[in-house]
């Protein structure tokens, strides 16, 4: 075997190994990718039977707890559209109506069944996905600017 052929075989084996590693990595990531949707985006896109994140504001007056205290139903809105959400478990301490929320789960029969609910962690923070969805809906209000205006009035 000549040097040129041996080099060509080595290059071919290296490319085959790299291709195999890339295929394995992409296959592993495929099951772990979680997309983010706002209620408006859910109206126009098919998500199928896969996990995704739903973000928006908890609609005022929509939070209802079952008598057992473990299951909570509420609505998430981006002010244009609303999605019913059901969650079984303990909600974060900062979860309340009118605040930003991101829930991860599946859409089942028109109801989003959440397996995890994340609430914002202070009065000025909003998850980037939620603020972007609210900006696209034309209803975003920057909490930092609102707080500054309120402080100046006092």
Q: Does domain 35-119 have CATH number 2.40.50.140?
A: yes
140 known member of a binding site:
no
Other residues' Cβ atoms within 10 Å of the Cβ of residue 8: 12
- 21: buried, middle or exposed (CB in 10 Å: 19+, 13-18, 0-12)? exposed
> Where do we find the tokens 């991860």?
104
Residue 58 and residue 84 in contact, taking contact as beta carbons nearer than 8 Å? no
pLDDT (tens digit, 9 = 90+) per residue, 10-42? Answer: 999 999 999 999 998 888 777 667 788 888 888
| Residue ranges covered by each domain of the chain | 1-33, 35-119
pLDDT band of 51, cuts 50, 70, 90: confident
pLDDT (tens digit, 9 = 90+) per residue, 64-83? Answer: 999 888 899 999 998 888 99
Task: Give the model's pLDDT for residue 135.
Answer: 78
List strand residue ranges (DSSP E) for 51-147, in order.
52-58, 64-65, 71-77, 82-88, 100-108, 111-119
| pTM for this model (two decimals) | 0.64
125 known member of a binding site:
yes
């Amino acid at each position: 075997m000549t040097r040129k052929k041996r080099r060509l075989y080595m290059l071919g084996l290296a490319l085959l190994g790299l291709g195999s590693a890339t295929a394995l990595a992409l296959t592993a990531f495929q099951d772990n990718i979680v997309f983010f949707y706002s209620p408006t985006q859910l109206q126009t896109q098919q998500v199928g039977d896969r996990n995704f994140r739903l973000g928006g504001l908890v609609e005022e007056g929509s939070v209802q707890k079952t008598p057992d205290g473990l299951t909570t139903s509420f609505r998430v809105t981006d002010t244009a559209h609303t999605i019913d959400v059901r969650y079984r478990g303990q909600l974060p301490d900062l979860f309340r109506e009118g605040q930003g929320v991101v829930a991860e789960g599946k859409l089942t029969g028109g109801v989003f069944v959440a397996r995890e609910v994340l609430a914002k962690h202070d009065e000025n923070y909003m998850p980037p996905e939620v603020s972007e969805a609210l900006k696209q809906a034309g209803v975003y209000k920057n909490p930092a600017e609102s707080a500054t205006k309120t402080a100046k009035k006092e």
